[in-house]
Amino acid sequence: MTAFLNAIGYGHWVLDALLVLPLLAALLVMVTPERHAKHVAFWATVVEFVVSIGLWWAFDPHMSGMQFEVIRPWIAAYGISYHVGVDGISLFMVLLSTLTMPLAVLGSWKYITSKERAYYALMLVLTTGMLGVFMALDLFLFYVFWELMLIPMYFIIGVWGGSRRLYAAIKFFIYTFVGSLLMLVAILFVYMTVGAHTGVYSFAYGHILANAGLVRQWTFWLFGAFALAFAIKVPMFPFHTWLPDAHVEAPTAGSVILAGILLKMGTYGFLRFAIPLFPHAAFDPTVSAVVVTLAVVGIIYGALVAMVQPDFKKLIAYSSVSHLGFVMLGIWAVTVQSVSGAIIIMINHGISTGALFLLVGMIYERRHSREIAVYGGIARAMPMFAAILTLVSLSSIGLPGTNGFVGEFLVLLGAFQTHPWAAGIATSGVIFAAAYLLWAIQRVLFNREPDAENAKLPDLSRRELVVLAPLVACILWIGLYPQPILHRIEATTSGWVAQMRHGMPDAGLAHGPAGEDAP
Amino acid sequence: MNRPFGVDLGTPSGIALALLPEIVVIACALVLMLVAAWRHGDERAERLVGQLSLVGLIAALATVIWFWASNLYPSRTVPEMITLDPFRYALDVVFLLGAIGTVLLSLGYLGRERILVPEYYVLLLFATAGMMLMAGASDLLVLFLGLEVMSVSVYVLAGIQRRSAASAEAALKYFLLGAFASGFLLYGIALLYGATGTTNLYLINLQLRGGAGDHGLMLLFGVALLLVGLGFKVSAAPFHMWAPDVYDGSPTPVTGYMATAVKAAGFAALVRVLITGFGDAPGIWQHLVFWLAILTMLTGNLVALAQRNVKRMLAYSSIAHAGYLLVAVACGTTLGGSALVFYVLAYTLMTLGAFGVLSVAGREGERDVRIDDLSGLAKRRPWLALAMAIFMLSLLGFPGTIGFIGKWYILTAALGAGQQALAIVLVLTSVVSAGYYLPVVMAMYMKDETEPGTIERAGYRLGAGARAVVFAAALLILAFGVWPSQALSLANQGGRALRPAPPPVIVLPKD
């Protein structure tokens, strides 16, 4: 495989192709007849996935730096370039995105009945935006992609969403916009300051990272601006209030993408930008304590609120707050295990929560209700559905043997070394997760049916099985044999952790053992 | 670029050459006045005058571009009344593009609204010539002349819809307050003359450099009055009170013209005076502009939120954008000047486009277009709605559009000049602006028509000219949003010209 990829020069064009392909496909969708739009979009996303999958083999797991880099000048006079690349962290975010997109398109097959061309074109533009965020190695370019994916999502929620879609759409937009504009000021400030001191005005990530020490005296402000943008996106408690609205009102595919990919941009932003550029602020004892506390609060709060939701979709939305809390805890624990675990949770959450949203969408298409109380006893009518929902829920809970277990286990293992108290409390989040999901499954699948109609629901169609099968396969594969993934993440995370620990010898990590925790 | 060649501004032929773009516009206006007197009263005559005015404007644009490309410079080293520099050319291009766009929008609009006054185009040309004088002035008196030529023409344009009470009210309000502002400006010039003994900006600069630190009260008052006068023209808060009523009452293409070119001219004069004349003494004016900028951004954005009428919303949004431009002025650096030049271009494109869409959205004889009237536009007129959405997103400063590059440039200039507070206020108020630009997008795309048939009744017949303006603006917004390098470098030339370095050797005139 590797030889074949080398023969076609895969590494030189793959990232460009991944970014350009969806845009071309979007144009193509706009000119195809309305009823064929979804077919074009589906095959485009499948091609995109096939193109991206080569990264799995072409990626060199022993390198901790960037791979497949492409640099081209864009606005050369101001040091802005088109500069993309992937490392072990972004690799899986890219693969997760390209895997999710065809499933999201298939999941919209019957749900979207109006203005299909525009819908699928926006989905494809969104793909470029998301991939761009994960690949960009130029802060200006990153910002452009970061904002770019806002517009398609805004339209997807606002045009094809549920009854309160306008409110949800504008809330989503404005929350994200506040954070990102302050981040823009911070990016420009770093650019100007670094430029003034080094004489090289450039937005290149490497250049700014190497000279980040020059902004040391403003590090708290700058970290704050970046952190706000990312914390809103994650979303961390108490910035999460846009999430339930957006997730619930968005069409199924919108929720899948929001939960599966967009939330990861927040945690990815912390890993790639906010923390490496401003380690002194990020791991300052106070900041660190605040972040870890908020992460733990998010874990518990998200789980408790999920428990009392009568709306199945909202329940899943709140469970995201809880899961992303684990990611934040893992990142701030700064051990190789916890950071690897955090990345694994980012992948898992995309798979499991994506699958849950798809499942809810499937029963919504049958009964046009998201209320848990409407369902009950549908396991008899829909045995396939019941089996898959149960499996996915168990993975979301973190049952050993499923993917969810691997990530949470690693995070807690790592976090116990540096933040034992927080890790201890966070563990209870796993128990809460079991409570809210199992209870929800019981009420949806079993119990007595409140409505005779439930007994007549058709089971999953072939299309729906095709949508779910890859996700189920990933759940079991990552759960049973995560080694290939861990292997590809490892070099990057240990490089990252070593760099962070080296960067701030005195701050924040004094109470944690360093160095000896390589697995 | 060609080899630079000097123009001797001391000779009549030199002056005539240096003023060639203005002369082209004015000559065209004079000829058109005759044409208008000859053939008056019917729509065909009016269209003819409009088309001829386009010819004049395009000829002037060609002259300006020729000037820029051939790199003229004044050969004598005494201070002149007018400048030959990229700043002037860049602004001239903006004014002329704005005027061309306005003429194209007006061609269909005037006929539809039964405004059969061919002098409309003549006034438009005179106003444009005035603006060009303002951008080219290096002497306060020339600047004042330009300002008055422009203002008087625009007062009349605002009231050109004689039968409409709102239009008459707009014209009267604009005239009374504008005359007052001109008075302030003139008094400020007089005080500056008293304080420095000259009205030439380069000489004022030299005076201030010589007598550093000694800024008498007369000088301070002079600058303050100048700021009031020009602040009025650019509708900076707290001198913005006239803007919403006047914008609302004037014919839509005129509103577009006032919001873009007139504002750009005010800013051209403002930076020319402050950076060229008072650039070495920022202590006198910088904190004033700082507060003007903050107040303008806050007022414009917050009040715009409460508007339901699209034209009034755009009026307040234009106040908000005046605030962003004031941030560029407050930098007091040439980078700020460059950012201003670029943003003026960006702002002209997006605002003119938006007014272009509005000019066809208004029902005949009815001046109110509420945001809800745009509901469902995407379904009926997808391209028009797409263009409007691009204008709104660009005004919002969204990446991929010129509005984003413009804001980014202003932010860079502000941070480079150490104005962090202004940068932060700018982005926070930009967030507020999402609250009034997005509802337009939402109405078009996410709501259904409130009452069926609204759109049919509203007409939405774009003439060929208006269509050209709207789609050219939308395309340019996207093109410059993705490939801004060329435009940025031209804007940069313009900004750098504000502080000629090394400063010209100036021989004081013997008096």
Please name the residue of chain B whose CA is at the shortest distance from the CA of residue A169.
B442
Give me the residue from B412, B442, B489 closest to A188, CB to CB: B412
Which one of A78, A158, A189 has the shortest CB-CB distance to B446? A158
Q: What is the pLDDT of residues B158-189, one digit of tens each?
A: 988 888 888 888 899 999 999 999 999 999 99
Determine phi and psi for A83, rounding to 5 degrees.
-135, 110
pLDDT of B316 strictly over 70: yes
Give the C-alpha separation, A257 to A264, whole Å: 10
pLDDT digit string (tens) for chain A, length 519 residues: 778 887 788 888 889 999 999 999 999 988 888 888 888 999 999 999 999 998 888 888 888 788 888 999 998 888 899 999 998 889 999 999 999 999 999 888 888 888 888 899 999 999 999 999 999 999 999 999 999 888 899 999 988 888 888 899 989 998 988 888 999 999 999 999 999 889 888 999 989 988 888 888 888 999 999 999 999 998 888 888 898 888 888 888 889 999 889 999 999 999 999 999 998 888 888 999 999 999 999 999 999 999 998 888 899 999 999 999 999 999 999 888 999 999 999 999 999 999 999 999 888 888 888 888 888 788 888 888 899 999 999 999 888 888 888 889 999 999 998 888 999 998 888 888 888 899 888 888 887 777 777 777 888 888 889 889 999 999 999 888 888 888 888 888 888 888 888 765 443 343 444 443 433
- Predicted confidence at residue A270, as pLDDT, reads 93
Neighbours of A105 (CB within 10 A): 27
pLDDT score at A296: 93
A20 and chain B in contact, CB less than 8 A: no
**In DSSP terms, which residues pair with B74 in a beta bridge?**
B7
Residue of chain B whose alpha carbon sits nearest to that of A146: B399
Which residues in chain B have Cβ-Cβ distances shorter than 8 Å to A174? 431, 434-435
The answer to whether the beta carbons of residues B84 and B74 sit under 8 Å apart is yes
> Is any Cβ of chain B less than 8 angstroms from the Cβ of A181?
yes
Mutation choice for A interface testing from B412, B420, B492 by most A CBs within 10 A: B412
Nearest by CB to residue A181, choosing from B400, B431, B484, is B431
Long-range contacts of A32-35 (CB under 8 A, 24+ apart): A32/A117, A34/A116, A34/A117, A35/A116
Token readout for B186 is 């003139």
Strands A80-86 and A67-75: antiparallel
Which residue in the set A76, A169, A174 is minimally distant from B431, CB to CB?
A174
Q: Of A64, A80, A63, which is closest to residue A72 (Cα–Cα)? A: A80
Which of B371, B415, B429, B432 should be substituted to probe chain A, the one whose Cβ sees the most A Cβ atoms within 10 Å? B415
Give pTM, 2 decimals: 0.91
Chain A positions touching B427 (Cβ under 8 A) are 181-182, 184-185
- Phi and psi at A69, nearest 5°, equal -65, 145
The minimum CA-CA distance between A464 and chain B, rounded to whole Å, is 29
Does the pLDDT at position B456 exceed 60?
no
pLDDT of residue A399: 86
Cβ–Cβ pairs < 8 A, chains A and B: 76
Give per-residue pLDDT as tens, A332-351: 998 889 999 999 999 999 99
What would the two tokens of residue A308 be?
Answer: 């009392």
Contacts of A74 in chain B (CB under 8 A): 485
Average pLDDT, chain B: 87
How far is CA A338 from its chain centroid?
17
pLDDT of A511 reads 40
The pLDDT tens digits for B278-293 are: 888 888 889 999 999 9
Least confidently predicted of A179-188, A387-396, B39-48, B336-345: B39-48
Closest Cα in chain B, distance from residue A115 (Å): 9
* Nearest C-alpha in B relative to A147: B399
| SS3 assignment, position A63 | coil
Q: Identify the pLDDT of residue A110.
A: 82
Determine which of B441, B482, B496 to mutate to test the interface with A (most A C-beta atoms within 10 Å). Answer: B441
Which residues in chain B touch residue A165, judged by CB atoms under 8 angstroms apart? 446
Question: With bands split at pLDDT 50, 70 and 90, how would you rate the model's confidence at B149?
Answer: very high
Answer yes or no: is pLDDT of B451 > 80: no
**Which residues of A are less than 8 Å from B415 in CB distance?**
185, 188-189, 192
> CB contact, 8 Å: A226 with chain B?
no
ipTM: 0.89
Q: Cβ of A173 and B434 within 8 Å? A: yes
State mean pLDDT over B261-280: 91
State whether B416 and A181 contact (CB < 8 Å).
no
User: Cα separations (Å) of B94 from A286, A442, B348?
Assistant: 52, 67, 7
Alpha-carbon distance of B182 to A224, in angstroms, equals: 46
Nearest by CB: B427 against A78, A173, A185 = A185
Selection from A92, A88, A111, A112 nearest residue A100 by Cα: A92
d(CA A45, CA A468) in angstroms, rounded, equals: 16
Whether B277 contacts B204, CB under 8 Å:
yes
Q: By the CB < 8 Å criterion, does A469 face chain B? A: no
pLDDT of residue B40: 67
d(CA B125, CA B100): 10
Beta strand B5-7 with A80-86: parallel, antiparallel or unpaired?
Answer: unpaired
3-state secondary structure of A467: helix
- C-alpha distance from B363 to closest chain A C-alpha (Å): 27
Which pLDDT score, from 0 to 100, does residue B509 have? 54
State the pLDDT at residue B330. Answer: 93
Distance from C-alpha of B45 to C-alpha of B25, rounded to nearest angstrom: 20
pLDDT value at residue A492: 87
Q: Is A178 on the interface with B (CB under 8 A)?
A: yes
Task: Evaluate if residue B228 carries a pLDDT over 90.
Answer: yes
Q: 3-state SS of chain A: helix, strand, coil percent to 5? A: 80, 5, 20
Strand partners, A84: A70, A136
* Min Cα separation B22/chain A (Å): 33
Residues of chain B contacting A, Cβ within 8 Å: 393, 398-400, 404, 408, 411-412, 415-416, 420, 423-424, 427-428, 430-431, 434-435, 438, 442, 445-447, 484-485, 488-489, 492
Return the pLDDT at A77: 87
* B83 pLDDT tier (thresholds 50, 70, 90): confident
What single DSSP character describes residue B364? T
Q: Does A148 touch chain B (CB under 8 A)?
A: yes
Return the bridge partners of A81, or none.
A73
**Contact B420/A151, CB-based, under 8 Å?**
no
B9: DSSP letter: T
Give the number of other Cβ atoms within 10 Å of residue A35's Cβ: 9
Looking at beta carbons, which residues of chain A come within 8 Å of B492?
Answer: 77
Look at residue B460 in the predicted model and tell me its pLDDT. Answer: 57
